[in-house]
Every structure is written in structure tokens, then in C-alpha cells.
């Protein structure tokens, strides 16, 4: 039986332990502020999930990143989240809007965050445009992933934004591995190079950027080894949810 591990469960375990993890395994340090749409979602000053600014008042992330008992703060314009950089904007969340069909599992794992105050758009903070509704994501193209945090098992968290590339995989290949957990209409998956690495547990809500557009939101991977190429990384497919996103943001 395949051991599937939604990032939510990993995050809850870490919360109990008083820790917060996130990370890109391998990869490289991103050029500071080269991804001005990136958001660090934080509880009690600790990074827990990624997200993307899609309008000055909305951030898109994974539904399982929500912690109802804690107040989330969104940090925009950050490169080094261990510092109070002048470029950073700290904004509290006014409203959490998970997809109405999300029940805590793998399906419909997407959420909008309505910010209490509009972000100030500048060279450090910019919204990213959404993909077209009917835009297909061809297999075998390279896409970028980015996030803050751990760079591997038993390694310390990275305080600076890191990035790497992963390659879109055919849906039938994902289906063969993940079986009933993979829904091709609302998910996309990637293959990756063990040396280059990619997303890992806790790196939820961050984007999969293909041709400069966010095509996916980090969802789940293998429980025991996120850097095992046998198990494709899975992302919530953004363009499937465009009607819902646009309706919420009206």
C-alpha cells in the first residue's frame, strides 16, 4: 500500500511539538525579491506555509494550511524571514475562504485569504497573474517551485527563499502511482531529479510556476521520503478552480 501523507498532518504533528517546518530540498537560493508574489504564512512569527499574492487583497494557498485555533499573519516582500527587512509587509488575515468542498482530505485543497489591509504594490511586492481557464499544462515542461525552510532530512531550515525546477508528468503516470488519491481534473503532478530536489513536507501552499503563471499549489507527497523520485509530487491545479477563485474575489 502506498503511504500517502497530506502536508496537513505533518504540520499538525509539528505544531504539537512547537516547531514549524517547510522547505525546498536541494535547489538554490533565489535571487532576493525575484519572486515578489511569494507569501510566507506565519503563526506566532514562525513560517508554516507558502502562498502567492494574486491581488493586493488576496493570497492563494492550500486549504490544509489553515489552523483555526491560531491567528495567521501573511508576510510579503520577504527574502530572509529571520530578519525584519525593510521590504517586508506584515498583514493579518481578515477572512479564511477554503473551497467549500474541502473536507480535510486531498480533494479541493485550495484556499483564499482575504487580507485585512491591501498590500502596497512595489518592486518587492507584486501580484502574479492567474493562468487561463482552458490552458493545458503539457507534460515534460520544466516548472519552478519555491519556498522557505528545511533543505532535507535532519537539516536546518533555510531562512532565505529557495527555488528549484520540477518537470510536469503525464496524468496517467501519476494515477498509476497515487491511485485513488490522484484526481487528474483537479491535480497535476511532477517528476524531479533527486539531486535537484524539490518540494517537501510542510512546503504546502507554495506555487508551481510554469511559463510565468502559477499552475499548481503544493498539495502532497510521499510520507517517508519527499525526495524519492518514485513518488511524483502533487499540486492542486489552479486553472480548474478559476471560476471559484474569481467568484470569491468579486
Per-residue CA distances from 149 to 20, 81, 106, 110 (Å) = 9, 10, 23, 21
C-alpha cell, 32 = 532576493
Catalytic residue among 109, 157, 222, 233: 109
Catalytic residue at 64? yes
Phi/psi of residue 127, nearest 5 degrees: -80, 150
Could you give the CA distance from residue 120 to residue 127 in angstroms, rounded to a whole number? 10
Catalytic residue among 158, 171, 204, 222: 204
155: left (phi over 0), alpha (psi -120 to 50) or beta: beta
Catalytic residue at 107? no
Q: Which own/partner contact pairs does 172-177 have at CB distance under 8 Å and 24+ positions apart?
A: 173/232, 174/232, 174/234, 177/2, 177/230, 177/231, 177/232
Please say whether the beta carbons of 104 and 64 come within 8 A: yes
Catalytic residue at 109? yes
Catalytic residue among 33, 47, 64, 79: 64
Across-strand partners of 211? none
Which residues are catalytic, by number?
Answer: 64, 109, 204
Amino acid at each position: 500500500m502506498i503511504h500517502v501523507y497530506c502536508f496537513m498532518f505533518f504540520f499538525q504533528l509539528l505544531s504539537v511539538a512547537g516547531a514549524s517546518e517547510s522547505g525546498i530540498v536541494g535547489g538554490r537560493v533565489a535571487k532576493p525579491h525575484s519572486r515578489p508574489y511569494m507569501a510566507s504564512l506565519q503563526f506566532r512569527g514562525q513560517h508554516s506555509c507558502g502562498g502567492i499574492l494574486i491581488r493586493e487583497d488576496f493570497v492563494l494557498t492550500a486549504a490544509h494550511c489553515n489552523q483555526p485555533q491560531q491567528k495567521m499573519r501573511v508576510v510579503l516582500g520577504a527574502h530572509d524571514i529571520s530578519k525584519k527587512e525593510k521590504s517586508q509587509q506584515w498583514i493579518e488575515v481578515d477572512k479564511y475562504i477554503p473551497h467549500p468542498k474541502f473536507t480535510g482530505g486531498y480533494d479541493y485543497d485550495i484556499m483564499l485569504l482575504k487580507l485585512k489591509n491591501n498590500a502596497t504594490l512595489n518592486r518587492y511586492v507584486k501580484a502574479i497573474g492567474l493562468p487561463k481557464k482552458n490552458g493545458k499544462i503539457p507534460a515534460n515542461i520544466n516548472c519552478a517551485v519555491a519556498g522557505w525552510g528545511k533543505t532535507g532530512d535532519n537539516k536546518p531550515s533555510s531562512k532565505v527563499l529557495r527555488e528549484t525546477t520540477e518537470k510536469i508528468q503525464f496524468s496517467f503516470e501519476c494515477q498509476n502511482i497515487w491511485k485513488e488519491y490522484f484526481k487528474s481534473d483537479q491535480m497535476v503532478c511532477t517528476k524531479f531529479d533527486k539531486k535537484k530536489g524539490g518540494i517537501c513536507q510542510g512546503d504546502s501552499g507554495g506555487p508551481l510556476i510554469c511559463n510565468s503563471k502559477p499552475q499548481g499549489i503544493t498539495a502532497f507527497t510521499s510520507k517517508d521520503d519527499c525526495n524519492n523520485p518514485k513518488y511524483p509530487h502533487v499540486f492542486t491545479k489552479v486553472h480548474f478552480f478559476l471560476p471559484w477563485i474569481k467568484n470569491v474575489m468579486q
